[in-house]
Structure 1
Amino acid sequence: MFTEDEYRLDFFIEEGFHHKKCEKCGKFFWTRDGSRKTCGDPPCDPYTFIGSPIFKRQHSLDEMREHYLGFFEARGHTRIKRYPVAARWRDDIYLTIASIADFQPFVTSGQVPPPANPLTISQPCIRLDDLDSVGRSGRHLTTFEMMAHHVFNTPDREIYWKDRTVRLCDELLVGLGMDPLAVTYKENPWAGGGNAGPSVEVMVGGLELATLVFMDLVAAPAGAVEIKGERYEKMKNYIVDTGYGLERFVWASNGAPTIYDAIFPDLVRQVADLAGVEHNLDDPEYAEIFAQNARLAGMVDLDEYSMSDLRAKIAGSIGIDPGRLEKAILPMERVYAVVDHTRCLAYMLGDGIIPSNVKGGYLSRLVIRRTLRLMKELGLRLPLADLVQLQISRLDYPDWEESFATIRDILDQEEQKYAETLEKGMRLVRKTAESYLKKNEPVPLSEMIALYDTHGIPPEIAREAAVQMGAQVELPDNFYSLVAKKHIRAEPEEEKKPPIPGKTELLFYENPFEQEFEAEVLDVVEGAAILDRTLLYPEGGGQPADHGTLEKDGQLFQVTDVQKSGDVVLHKLAEPGCLAKGDRVKGKVDMLRRLAHARHHTATHLVHDSAKRVLGKHIWQAGAQKSEDRARLDISHFKRITDAELKAIELEANRRVMELVPVDTQFLPRTEAEKLFGFELYQGGVPPGKLIRVVRVGSDIEACAGTHVTNTGMIGMIKILRAERVQDGVERVEFAAGEAAVRASQARDDLLAGAAGILRVPNEQLPRTAERFFEEWKEQQKEIERLKEDLAAARLKTLVSEAETIDGLRVIVQKMGNADIDELLKAAALLAEEDCVALLGSKTGKLVAAVGQSGLSKGVKAGSIIKAAAKVLGGGGGGRPQLAQGGGPDTERLEEALAAGKEAIRAGA
């Protein structure tokens, strides 16, 4: 681990700090108070700031944020704007979980320079690991702002390191009015996001206000340093990574019973009033209940305590009945959670995360549905969108106000889906509970998670329905946290093969429509030629590889695939033949294929941009694929795209084509590109490296490595073929461009002409004629159904008249041709109304039995008849005493089956 020298700073020595070992947890810490024996971190020390603020005056969120940023600006740090809570620049996480996440992996690895150095930021973060504790603990939040100052030191330039970092922190705290003896700096190694380093946790009044990390390690399987089970080695760069909790600073300045009452007291009051919950913190006894709850919750790990145990502990500590405590605190816990969750949703939806069943959309839907459940329990009948709007009105983000109509639409849709889920889900819950009742086992947690994950059924509702049936349910208090943890990180990509050494010069960017080139063969690996330069595009970014040929001394080699591995390009050959390292070859690109791909790729950018113009700024690319004859674009959207919207997108895209806009491509340093264009660059994914290729097609600007036309006019026509929902929250738009679009339009014209020809009318009369034929067909179908019913009634009348009498019952056993199950059920039911016992069979192997009143009174059961008959057919069946159905595969034995059923009737009667 780390030695004492890692933490023995000049600042601590100069200020007279004592280095001590906590007598409770055994961790080391630094303090000015020579008599202190504990580290200041719960459970070693309780909260002492509640009712006794740490700082000399109370601050609001805005005031504290400005004080912090101004403090560091005055000390040489550049203030930068926040990053989105949707971590678009990352492919490993969906949400921004810390300020350092803004700079991982490219800045922290040294590939890319930081946007400023040193810098200060107040970064909104979302963490759902403790979702179930929000509202209950008095301190947990889903959304918080991590105020930070970061320094990116290199071997060539050190700006400042540990000593100044701690000195600045202490100066900030003392300047806010903290008692210098109250702070402890607790040593605790940190690791996260592939980096690690020594760190100190800044504790005041039992509350962790900040963490100061000295990041100088990078994950390495054979590293010499082990932290939390992972191995690390020293990295060249060394980074000051600090995190100061804005909300905790405000709470510390306020001393309120809970963090929620400190950071948004007006909204807590408003939601409590709407729910009819009395919340009077001026009542000392009432306020002490919440204060003691927060103090005790701060002393325990809520993952290890059930809420009932915690309630009992709190009730005992303040000397009241647990039932009274529950009555006082439960409604407000829900209020606190609703206020917190709606702020979380404001950030998620404001930054463009569309609810769905995957990725970040899954997490936003998780928060939405938990909020709706809490609102129902509180009796809040207003739309969820109204509460989110209250949050947005408090946050200074004008673009969110502009897009609120879309946010409201999204939330209204989600409320509707939630209601539909509850209605449909109960049958599934009851079926699940019944299966575990039969096994005399409780419904396990895995089943509850599956019911939520797959079908969206909230665990509380599933538990209620299961318990009503008499089933036991395994449902921990941290259910939502467990579910969130499963979805917070992206699935890791499959391990790639080690890159092949060498480098291929990529000629196709500078010369996208040059067809021929000369190159040297660097190597031939597994039937693929590696060249020192190439015009052939390797597969990537949803664009297929080029095809072409390589020629050596008159011998032609067909290139059937092109792939990139590291810095080299592999040209897969149909027959490698005698091609060898050092050979000179002439390459040729299949330009028809290249041009078709380029048209479709540039058209994809235009269709995406047009979708944003028509559907809204929330549109985000969820995937794309191009081919020679069509392309598809998957976009995040909260409802189905209408035909009118699809036509508007198509028209808008073709307008962009006709503007004859040049397609601009350039390589830019990543940091510069992000400053200029923001994170919408990463619509198609996050490319690696210091330099990224930026493609600008009109107002669409993306990081893109594909081939493009040089002017939108080269695309030609864009024809949208169809749209479909590929998963909840993701719409797929298929389209064709250029010659492919013309061919697609011609194919549709052929369909139209063919249909008109069949009906022998001109094309323009086809809709009216088709409608007339359809109406006539419907009338004919009605007449056919009426005649069939008349015929069936006559046939049944004949069957009744020819019924066999068995022990006083009229019995009908009859083959019914190829009748389907619906016909058999209808006929049997009508015969039962005539007080007959009927067994009807079909050549399809289907059987139906029905028993009239006289048969029922004698104990004849339709299920017994069916079981006897179906057994002969090698099948089974069952049902109610008055009506049952079944069948089997051995249809050749239908006569025997009916005879067996008849014997069952005789035996039953």
Structure 2
Amino acid sequence: MLDDEYNIDYFKENGFAQKECSKCGNIYWTRDPQRETCGDAPCDYYSFIGKPIFKTPMNLTEMREYYLKFFEDRGHTRIDRYPVIARWRDDIYLTIASIADFQPFVTSGLVPPPANPLTISQPCIRLNDLDSVGRTGRHLTTFEMMAHHVFNKTGKEIYWKDKTIELCDQLLMSLGADPKDVTYIKNPWAGGGNAGASVEVMVGGLELATLVFMNLKESKNGDIEVKGKKYVKMDNYIVDTGYGLERFVWASKGSPTIYDAIFPKVVQELMNLAGIEHELNDPKYAQILSRNAQFAGVMDVSGNANLMELRKKVAAEIGMDVEELNKIMDPVEKVYTIADHARCLTFMLSDGIIPSNVKAGYLARLVIRRTIRLMNDLGIQVPLSDIVWLHIENMPEYPEFEENFGVTKEILEGEEEKYRQTIERGKRIIQKSAVKYKEQGQKIPLEELMEIYDSHGIPPEIAKEAAKEVGVEVDFPDNFYSLIADMHSEAGEKETQEFQYADKLERLPQTKRFYYDEPDRMEFEGVVLDVFGDYVVLDNTFFYPEGGGQEADHGMIMAGTFVYDVIDVQMIDGIVVHKLDVSDRELLINRGDMVIGQVDKNRRMAHSRHHTATHIINDAARKVLGNHIWQSGAQKTEERARLDISHYKHITQEELNEIELLANKMVMENKKVGFESLDRTEAEQKYGFGLYQGGVPPGKTLRVVKVGTDIEACGGTHCQNTGVIGPIKILKTERIQDGVERLEYAAGTAAVAAIQEMEKLLKTSSQTLSIPQENLPATVDRFFEEWKSLQKENERLKAEVAGTRVIQMVKNANVVGGVKVVTFVTRGEDTDALRMTAIELLKDDDVAAVLLSDKDGVKAVAACGKNAVSKGIRAGDLVKEMSTVVGGGGGGKPDLAMGGGPNAQNIEKAKNAAVSKIEQILSA
């Protein structure tokens, strides 16, 4: 439905013919009248292998600079790269394209771009083709999208389609491309609620760039259809281009693969470590590699593609036996994949992603574990951090990578150890699952393999080996890791609870909010705009509504002689609603009434202290633990606050003490807290993306809060000076999930109360022990050692008693069918004591014993020797029998089982039931 969008004058005026591909049917433009195919794989194989497209070979640094300067010379402003973790977005985790830098606020027209037009070389990460990396010769997890962007508005156009294609054409010609080799393929683009005409730029069978003309937005009533969805035209229209830096370098060198072109030193070092002869100057080897690469465009294992079937196609094209080709290419492709993944991790970890089980951290761990597995397959024994360092040495344009390498190295060392532990326990988990499917005569289904990977991190290759040991088959698709990455690439929809009176708010104006302007004012007058249920809306308010991890203000609203407690305050689309406590009376406030609001000052001050303290704690943690620290959640109440931070290991007590000391020093400096209202783009350029530590607030303008060296976009209430916070006391720290540490602390009077409570505990403990407080640690240590000694002595005595008791039990046993039936009922013994007796009894192979105690209901233990088990008596069955009688449950192994129930009055019946069960089995 975008045909009109492709009436492009530049094609008509520069000798291009519009054609339809004879193989795939795509529409494309070319200067070559003899061409019949579009230029994309698999319609055309790579023709540039050994025959570079461009006149001068360049490395990444040289090609990036050539591109950026080309567009700078043509009126574009060069801007710095954004991080590969999309800190300014709450819908995606990774930066997947250069346009993602400007979504959603710039692309929607809400805020101006940092420059217009602009050029950038943006590192991007996409994991949706993870399994194709290394195999196609072209796929990468990390790539730099060189781009030039233009943000046009109706009546203010900078340039549009013709100029964009002209610039692309000029760039290719300046590099030495043959004009007849260049094709532009028609392929409308749609994504993220936008759409537009688009052309893919092909040279030598390789897609070098995509030029998107984004001028549509999704609408149910739209009159333009693109890929099954309806769109309408936008007032703004955007040139969104993407040029693959790595592909340009590959095209300039004509290397067998993109990996040999962009990081040849890393590839060669890995080949050496894996014992692979990777001699590109060996004619026979280079020919196999080159011919494989020419046809490797078909080795894309996305969708339901099968790797071996694709390999057969390539083998047939180059005239080799598929097994021989696979033997050569499989280890080489693994090396390529390791090299690629290590570069991906260099960007991920240096930009602050902490491996974990959620969000971007999950994706980092996915890449780490896949890399380690491939290294193990090839017998590469060096630490993964060594390979990352090889990349850093070859990327001097990113000095931050070397600066952050200490943390990167420590993270990777920890992740390698976790992976080893995962594999050790993983086999047991898989085999337990496999036994279940073996009984049903089935394979382990893909859904369960994915769930096991998600929950336990067990790779499908390990699952296959472990399941095979118990006779169960495992099949998984060649795009398994891509499927996993797809599941975790985007943030889920945020759950929002709709306000029950939302329809009544539509006609009301936004509330004037003055809690920022006059933070110390707690009393005000307001006009009632509306009343519904127990909610009141005023024309203005000094009550802070819940938000940013800060609870709402409380207080009172007075209407004449009536006083109502304000128990909650919320803001819905700019309208503040005050919830009143009317549980014991009628709400006698009407629209148009003049009321007096009074904010609870003590609650407000406690919240302000804790909110300001959160900035200080975050800043101190970053200084003590490292620049990778990122706020992943916070909550501020009257009594205490908590801050969740991304960190790759437990915080030590020494680090905690240092954070607390540094935080209190910042308080004592009594620095003024700064507040600034800035245009979003200006704020980002001035302060960076650390602004979004507490989340990404909506809107064109950001309220920037500066507390010491911590600078964030923050909507909470704060103290005017750090000295007002008072003391800060860290109460505890804990790991709430892998990769996230929680700090709990109190500030001001809440901190004093917490310290007093700690002192009270110390005083009470020392008084109980009748010792001075300073002697408490030594005394506790002594008592603990004595307790451990007594525990050991207690265990020894229990074992002695059990041994003595067992001799008598066996002597008095009733022999039935060659089995010594032992019964024992006691008072007050716990399960542990009964279990020790049972273990002693198991030394006699002929024993079948049932032991019961009336402690806390009934405790039941059964023990069956080897001979008893061979005759069909199972301890688990006996325990189930007894536990049922006493109203409980239990079970265990054939030789030893435990259980019980609450009904102590049935203890004798339980014993008799077990004995009857034994006799029944033996008489059968």
Q: Give the TM-score category using the shorter length.
A: over 0.9
Partner of 1:908: 922
Shift of 1:299: 4.0
Q: Secondary structure at the match of 2:41?
A: coil
Conserved 8 A contact 2:848-2:868: no
Structure-2 residue corresponding to 1:518: 525
- For residues 17 and 816 of structure 2, the distance between their equivalents in structure 1, rounded to whole angstroms, comes to 104
- Alpha carbons of structure 1 residues 799 and 197: separation in structure 2 relative to 1, 3 Å: same
Give the aligned partner of residue 302 of structure 1.
301
Is 1:596 the counterpart of 2:606 in the alignment? Answer: yes
1:707 to 704, 713, 717: 717
Match status 1:104 vs 2:114: no
**In the alignment, residue 267 of structure 1 is paired with which amino acid?**
V
Which one of the candidate residues 748, 771, 779 is aligned to 1:769?
779
Is the 8 Å Cα contact of residues 138 and 290 (structure 1) preserved in structure 2?
A: no
Per the alignment, residue 780 of structure 1 pairs with: 790
Match for residue 555 of structure 2 among 529, 548, 552: 548
Equivalent position of 1:350 in the other structure: 350
Which amino acid letter does the alignment assign opposite residue 767 of structure 1?
P
Q: 2:760 aligns with which of 727, 746, 750?
A: 750
Partner residue in 2 for 1:336? 336
Matched AA of 1:435: K
1:472-491 aligned at under 5 Å gives the runs 472-491=473-492
Q: Which residue of 2 aligns with 1:665?
A: 675
Question: Which range is displaced more, 271-280 or 838-847?
Answer: 838-847
Q: Separation in 1 of the partners of 2:564 and 2:916?
A: 78
In structure 2, what is the equivalent of residue 686 of structure 1? 696
SS of residue paired to 1:257: coil
**For the structure 1 residues 590 and 172, does the alpha-carbon distance in structure 2 shift closer, same or farther, using more than 3 Å as the test?**
same
- Counterpart in the other structure of 2:908: 895
Aligned to 1:388: 388
Q: Aligned residue for 1:19?
A: 18
Q: 1:695 aligns with which of 705, 708, 732?
A: 705
Displacement of 1:27: 2.5
Cα displacement (A) at 1:571: 1.4
Aligned to 1:457: 458
CA distance in 1, matches of 2:346, 2:158: 37
Q: 1:894 to 1:740 in 2, by over 3 A?
A: same
2:132 and 2:299 in contact (8 A); partners too = no
Q: Is the contact made by 2:135 and 2:299 (CA closer than 8 Å) also made in structure 1?
A: no
Counterpart for residue 494 of structure 1:
495
Q: Which residue of 2 aligns with 1:131?
A: 130
1:219 shift after superposition:
2.1
Per the alignment, do residues 682 and 851 of structure 1 end up closer, same or farther by CA in structure 2, a change over 3 Å counting? closer
SS in 2 for 1:708: coil
Structure-2 separation of matches of 1:901 and 1:206: 78
What is the CA–CA distance in structure 1 between the aligned matches of 2:24 and 2:197, rounded to whole Å? 18
Match of 2:283 in 1: 284
> Which one-letter code corresponds to 2:922 in the other structure?
G
1:400-421, CA deviations, whole angstroms, 9 ceiling, x for partnerless residues? 2122111111111111111111
Contact 1:104 1:193 in 2 (8 A): no
Identity of aligned residues (%): 57
Gap change, CA 1:107 and 1:785, over 3 Å in 2: same
Tell me the residue number matched to 1:421. Answer: 422
SS at match of 1:54: coil
Partners of 1:362 and 1:508 in 2: CA distance: 39
Residue type of the alignment partner of 2:670: L
CA 114–786 in structure 1, closer or farther in 2 if over 3 Å, else same: same
User: Could you report, residue by residue, the CA deviation over 1:805-860 in whole angstroms, capped at 9, with x for unpaired residues?
Assistant: 44666543222334444433332332343565242221354544445577678887
Per-residue CA deviation, residues 584-632 of structure 1 (Å, 9 max, x unaligned), is: 2222111111100000000000000000011111100000000001000
| 1:135-184 Cα deviation digits (max 9, x unpaired) | 11111000000000001111231111111110010011011111111111
Q: Which residue of 1 aligns with 2:176?
A: 177
Question: Does the Cα contact within 8 Å between 2:546 and 2:571 map onto a contact in 1?
Answer: yes
Deviations along 1:223-273, whole A, 9 cap, x unmatched? 222222332211111111100001111111111111111111111111100
Letter of the 1:484 counterpart? A
CA distance in 2, matches of 1:854, 1:586: 87
Identify the range of structure 1 (460-469 vs 581-590) with the bigger mean alpha-carbon deviation. 581-590
Query: Where does 1:713-752 land on structure 2 (aligned, <5 Å)?
Result: 713-752=723-762
CA distance in 2, matches of 1:490, 1:851: 54
1-structure distance, mates of 2:630, 2:339: 28
- One-letter amino acid matched to 1:138: G
Counterpart CA distance in 1 for 2:743 and 2:891 is 47
Once residues 269 and 318 of structure 1 are traced to their aligned partners in structure 2, the CA distance between those partners, rounded to angstroms, is 25
Q: CA deviation at 1:495?
A: 5.5
Letter in 1 for 2:53: I
Whether the 8 Å CA contact 1:137–1:293 is kept in 2: the answer is: no
Structure 1 residues 513 and 811, CA gap change in structure 2 (3 angstroms): same
1:88 corresponds to which letter in structure 2? R
Amino acid at match of 1:682: Y
Contact in 2 for aligned 1:818/1:842 (Cα 8 Å): no
Q: d(CA) in 2 for partners of 1:435 and 1:136? A: 35
CA 168–885 in structure 1, closer or farther in 2 if over 3 Å, else same: same
2:577 is equivalent to residue 563 of structure 1: no
| Paired residue secondary structure (2:688) | helix
Following superposition, the deviation at residue 464 of structure 1 comes to 1.1
What secondary structure is seen at the aligned counterpart in 2 of 1:537?
A: coil
- State TM-score, norm by structure 1: 0.96
State the Cα distance separating 1:31 from its structure 2 match: 1.3
The within-5 A match list for 1:10-49 is 10-49=9-48
2:686 pairs with 661, 667, 676, which one? 676
Question: Against the structure 1 CA distance between its residues 133 and 834, is the aligned structure 2 distance closer, same or farther, given a 3 Å change threshold?
Answer: closer
1:749-777 CA-to-partner distances (Å, cap 9, x unmatched) read 11111111111222222222223333333
Distance 2:789 2:403 in 1: 52
State yes or no: 1:537 paired with 2:544. Answer: yes
Give the Cα–Cα distance (whole angstroms) in 2 for the partners of residues 882 and 197 of structure 1. 71
Deviations 1:54-77 (A, max 9, x none): 111211111111111010000000
Contact between 1:601 and 1:708, CA under 8 Å: does it hold in 2? Answer: yes
The equivalences for 1:244-259 within 5 A come to 244-259=243-258
> In 2, distance between residues paired with 1:870 and 1:433?
30
Residue 574 of structure 1 is matched in structure 2 by 581
Q: Which amino acid aligns with 1:752?
A: L
**Residue type of the alignment partner of 1:428:** I
Cα 1:823–1:653 shift into 2, 3 Å: same
* CA distance 1:800–1:52, change in 2 (3 Å): same
Q: 1:184 to 1:785 in 2, by over 3 A?
A: closer
CA RMSD of aligned residues (A): 2.2
Asked if structure 2 preserves the Cα contact closer than 8 Å seen for 1:46 and 1:299, the reply is: no
Q: Give the match for residue 831 of structure 1.
A: 841
Instruction: List alignment gaps of at least 5 residues for structure 2.
Output: none
Conserved in 1, the CA contact under 8 Å of 2:60 and 2:246? yes
CA contact (8 A) 2:2 2:226 kept: no
- Mapped to 2, the partners of 1:216 and 1:901 lie a distance apart of 79
**TM-score, L = length of structure 2:** 0.94
Residue 45 of structure 1 deviates from its aligned partner by 2.2
* 2:477 aligned partner, one-letter code: P
Is 1:148 paired with 2:161? no
Number of positions where the alignment pairs a residue of Structure 1 with one of Structure 2: 908
- Aligned partner of 1:799 in structure 2 is 809
Give 1:366-377 correspondences, 5 Å limit.
Answer: 366-377=366-377
The equivalent residue for 1:264 is 263
Gap regions ≥5 residues in structure 1: none
Distance 2:738 2:446 in 1: 25
Residue of 579, 593, 596 corresponding to 1:583:
593
Letter in 2 for 1:673: A
The whole-number CA distance in structure 2 between the counterparts of 1:267 and 1:412 is 20
The amino acid that maps onto 2:911 is L
Distance 2:154 2:865 in 1: 94
- Does the 8 Å contact 2:266/2:339 carry over to 1? yes
Q: Residues 319 and 515 of structure 1: is their aligned pair in 2 closer, same or farther, counting only changes over 3 Å?
A: same
**Structure 2 contact 850–860 (Cα < 8 Å) conserved:** yes
